[in-house]
Amino acid sequence: MPTLSRQAFFDPNGNNLPPAADVIGLYKKYGIGKIRLFGPNPATLEALRGSQIAVAIGIRNDDLPNLAASQEATNSWFTTNIEPYLKDVLFSHLFP
């Protein structure tokens, strides 16, 4: 019997959305094991700490030119947006 994989997308930039912690609570409740974020969002990443939900995280289009042009900018982006969560968030993919 095939294994089902549940995945959903969450973009916290919409209007009238519930707090990230509530959304992640629903992911846990319904056994959704993967999430795709279109860019780093501290509130969402905080809510994902210890959840064991696999996170695919994107780089915002506005950030790409700067990151492509400079290793220092890339290091800074990583240090700010990913490194603080490495011990407690399960990152599966990083994509542009």
How far from chain centre, in Å, is Cα 21?
Answer: 13
**Residues, the chain:** 96
The one-letter amino acid code at 40 reads P
Residue-wise pLDDT for 4-35, tens only, equals: 455 555 566 667 788 999 999 999 999 999 99
Q: Classify burial at 45, counting beta carbons within 10 Å of its beta carbon; exposed 0-12, middle 13-18, buried 19 or more.
A: buried
Residue-wise pLDDT for 59-76, tens only, equals: 999 999 999 999 999 999
Is the whole-model pTM more than 0.85? no
